[in-house]
Chain A
Amino acid sequence: MNSTKKKLLGTPYFIWSAIFIVVPLCMVFYYGLTDKSGAFTMENILSIATPEHSKALWLALLLSLISTVICLLLAYPLAMILCKMNVNQHSFIVLIFILPMWMNFLLRTLAWQTLLEKTGVINSILTFLHLPTLNIINTPYAIVLGMVYNFLPFMVLPIYNALSKIDVNVINAARDLGANELQVFLKVTLPLTVPGIISGITMVFIPALTTFVISNLLGGSKILLIGNVVEQEFTQASNWHLGSGLSIVLMLFIILNMVISAVFDKDGEGSVL
């Protein structure tokens, strides 16, 4: 196939990206860098420094960081177990993991809301068993729970991918050269899966950092994350300029994360994107 033909086939995708990615991005930058009269201003971006906004940003960073760490700690052993299983068992476990992902993200989060409520399912069972009740709804704990639950598969898949790419003979070679199980893990398995881990961290950290649905539903709109602030500026305050300004700040953190990933994952090995 010649290059003109290739370019021709690519046209719909270029148009698509232009309309739905490039144009909105330009609009965000336009609004973010102007005030209501249309004059250039840095005020929208700098307003991140106000106590209210910076608190929301730090809380979002903290909660998404905690969620990412928990996801990593849960996902790594799980991915290792998956890799060691034979095909039949393995597809069953994968199904269990993937099944919830077929359901709507909102529905799943709403379900957690119902489960965690003061008089919800979990507490009813706990009361019935005469156990102390669980009061985490509308607290940061519930938000972290929601983040971990929703984003865990995005951590498992790239790590599983990286693990399953390791030639079993490489592990055998390490054993053969005298390494015990722990040394094999620390010196061979873990370093070889770093690209997968980085990719997983990106795929959990970024959506967790920018979420507003989870914090809305499980945080009871008392706990504001930066995502909630941006959302409110657009939907309730109708201040697109401020919302865009804060989005640009958020984007900086995302780009920073991407750059770090790119440094670690030079070959794009762990990438599932």
Chain B
Amino acid sequence: MNKILIDLQHISKSFDGQMVLDDLNLYIRENEFLTLLGPSGCGKTTTLRILGGFETPDQGKVIFDGADITKMPPNKRQLNTVFQKYALFTHMTIAENIAFGLKIKNKPKTYIDDKIKYALKLVNLEGYENRMPDSLSGGQQQRIAIARAIVNEPKVLLLDEPLGALDLKLRQDMQYELIRLKNELGITFIYVTHDQEEALTMSDTIVVMNQGYIQQIGSPEKIYNEPENAFVADFIGDSNIIGGTMIEDKLVEIFGTKFPCVDTGFGHNKPVDVVIRPEDVILSSPVNGKLKGIVTHLIFKGVHYEMEVTANGYEWLVHSTGMFPVGTEVGIDVDPYNIQIMNKPASEDEEAAKIDE
């Protein structure tokens, strides 16, 4: 494990009496690709702005490499930001944009020229030195924004929804590009997004946030396969969240039918939320399934079919490569290891968050 580079301790921040972050604690390791993921207004951008020095927390400390930098202005921090809409200097050429930070630091001209070449090569835009930002496409501008940040050799690169304005194909290409960049540079990336697919693709660690609170921290696999609460389950991908009862360890009851599962430690006859991913629902002939239902919707999605199956009054969302026409009676089954058990939300806040979604 790499050592801890950034430590956010008890960070609180409110705007006009509106609590945006409430006692947030988070540490970030060296060379980690960490993503802050959540819906708009969850406090992810505020967290990033506090890291960048553009906001000061009401309470709490930001520890960077062992030193308290809570009140340090942005220009003194050893981290650089890639902004949402690129924020390039439109009155300067690409080379001047990239050289901005280095010129401020009075680096020698040959050093700056080398760095510009190196950075443009790194983002695959060699020969663009004398172009103006306005003449570049969105994706190219974004690469320049990244180049402009990394020539300063920051220890940490902050990225605020950098791919938000790009189209789907370009966004996917840029995701691979970012992973490659991170590996080549060997620095820490802190990435803010509301796009769960982006987060799952690129991150080492995902921090799921909602309403100023951290909902879950974990690897993409863990977040997807073992969501800790209904919010995370619902926000990360599609899912069926069903109220059930935990009969005993490794046995849960849904709609009066007992399903074997792998979770333990929830107690006996406890009400729980059960998460089943749409791709984990197995459809078969009515006699083979544990539950019986009727297909009510069918959409072809390319990779798979998306179906809605009504069983016991609940609409199951199902992704399957096999197709069952609307009106077909089907049986529903789920493998034990694909059933994820979660405690019912404890507070009303969490409940409300669930309904919002």
Chain A contacts to B: CB under 8 angstroms: 167, 169-170, 172-180, 183, 187-188, 191-192, 194
Contacts and interface: CB of A to CB of B under 8 A. Distances in A.
Interface stretch (B34-42, B87-95, B298-306): B87-95
B44 interface: no
A83 to B, nearest CB: 17
9 contacts: A167-B85, A172-B74, A175-B53, A176-B81, A177-B100, A177-B152, A183-B104, A188-B89, A192-B91
A169 B91 contact: no
B84 A175 contact: no
A102 B214 CA distance: 55
Given A172-B81, A179-B75, A183-B104, 9 more contacts: A170-B90, A172-B54, A172-B83, A173-B148, A176-B74, A177-B80, A177-B152, A178-B101, A188-B89
A178 B52 CA distance: 12
B85 A176 contact: no
Contacts of B127: none
Contacts of B325: none
Nearest to A183: B104
Contacts of A192: 89-91
A173 B101 CA distance: 10
A97 to B, nearest CB: 28
Contacts, number: 63
Contact of B83 (A169, A188, A194): A169
Nearest to A267: B134
B3 interface: no
Interface string B99-117: 0110011000000000000
Contact of A176 (B80, B84, B88, B89): B80
B87 A172 contact: yes
A180 B105 CA distance: 11
A178 B81 contact: no
Contacts of B80: 176-177
Contact of B100 (A169, A187, A194): A187
B73 interface: yes
Contacts of B53: 175-176
A173 B53 CA distance: 11
A175 B73 CA distance: 8
Contacts of A178: 75, 101, 104-105, 152
A176 B73 CA distance: 9
Nearest to A177: B101
A85 B81 CA distance: 26
A187 B148 CA distance: 15
Contacts of B83: 169, 172-173
A179 B84 contact: no
B87 A173 contact: yes
Nearest to B90: A192
B246 to A, nearest CB: 49
Given A167-B87, A169-B85, A177 B104 contact: yes
A192 B90 CA distance: 8
A188 B73 CA distance: 18
Nearest to A171: B87
Nearest to A175: B74
Contacts of A179: 75, 100, 104
Nearest to A195: B91
A194 B90 CA distance: 13
Interface in B124-164: 145, 148-149, 152
A177 B76 CA distance: 9
Contacts of B85: 167, 169
Given A169-B84, A169-B85, A187-B100, A176 B91 contact: no
A167 B133 CA distance: 15
A170 B88 CA distance: 6
A169 B87 contact: yes
A174 B81 CA distance: 10
A228 B245 CA distance: 95
A180 B76 CA distance: 9
Contacts of B148: 173, 177
List 4 tightest A-B contacts by C-beta distance, closest first: A177-B101, A169-B87, A173-B87, A175-B74
A237 B145 CA distance: 66
B16 to A, nearest CB: 11
Contacts of A175: 53-54, 73-75
Nearest to B49: A172
A162 to B, nearest CB: 11
Nearest to B91: A191
A170 B89 contact: yes
A191 B100 CA distance: 14
A3 B311 CA distance: 61
Given A169-B83, A169-B85, A187-B100, A176 B75 contact: yes
A183 B91 CA distance: 15
A180 B77 CA distance: 12
A28 to B, nearest CB: 39
A196 to B, nearest CB: 13
Nearest to B81: A176
Contacts of B101: 177-178
Contacts of A172: 52, 54, 74, 81, 83, 87
A188 B90 CA distance: 9
B100 A170 contact: no
A99 B52 CA distance: 42
Nearest to B134: A267
Interface in B44-65: 52-54
Contacts of A174: 89, 100
